[in-house]
């Protein structure tokens, strides 16, 4: 007798289906990681640009503020918090960038 039995074909299809589902799941997981990393990279670059912009403001003129990155990146918002440090004349600036309706955030600390 030549050929495959129905049972052998069903087992081979079950193995192929399991392998395919595993591969699709892994691919989807890695796509989500790439998307998250891209969002965090954009947030980091926006935060660094905003901190550089704030460097132009005199130190005594800095106040807590917030805003958005519209019109280029309207989905991203920012908030600046100021804190004193143990060193006289030195303040900690914490710039937080929010996205995804403030469900995700990234903070950078800068001392000035």
- Per residue in 61-90, pLDDT tens? 889 999 999 999 999 999 999 999 999 889
pLDDT of residue 4: 81
34-63: average pLDDT: 92
pLDDT of residue 92: 93
Per DSSP, 62 falls in state: -
Count of structural domains within the chain: 1
- Per residue in 13-32, pLDDT tens? 999 999 999 999 999 999 99
Say if 1 falls within a structural domain. Answer: no
pLDDT of residue 1: 60
Residues with Cβ within 8 Å of 88's Cβ and at least 6 positions away in sequence, in order, are none
Say if 41 falls within a structural domain. Answer: yes
User: 75: phi > 0 → left, psi -120 to 50 → alpha, else beta; which?
Assistant: alpha
Q: What share of the chain is helix, strand, coil (3-state, %, to 5)?
A: 45, 30, 20
* Entry pTM: 0.77
User: What average pLDDT does the chain have?
Assistant: 93
Say if 11 falls within a structural domain. Answer: yes
Say if 39 falls within a structural domain. Answer: yes
Residue that has been written with the tokens 């069903």 in this structure = 10
Taken in order 79, 44, 52, 92, is the CA torsion positive or negative?
positive
pLDDT of residue 62: 86
pLDDT of residue 112: 87
Q: Which residue range forms the structural domain that includes residue 54?
A: 6-111
Say if 47 falls within a structural domain. Answer: yes
pLDDT of residue 22: 96
């Amino acid at each position: 007798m030549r050929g495959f039995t129905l049972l052998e074909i069903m087992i081979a299809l079950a193995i192929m289906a399991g392998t395919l589902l595993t591969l699709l799941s892994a691919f989807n997981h890695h796509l989500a990681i790439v998307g998250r990393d891209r969002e965090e990279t954009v947030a980091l670059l926006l935060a660094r640009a905003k901190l550089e912009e704030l460097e132009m403001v005199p130190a005594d003129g800095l106040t807590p503020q917030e805003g958005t990155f519209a019109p280029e990146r309207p989905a991203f918002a920012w908030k600046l918090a100021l804190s004193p440090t143990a060193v006289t004349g030195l303040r900690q600036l914490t710039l937080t960038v929010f996205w995804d309706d403030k469900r995700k955030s990234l903070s950078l600390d800068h001392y000035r």
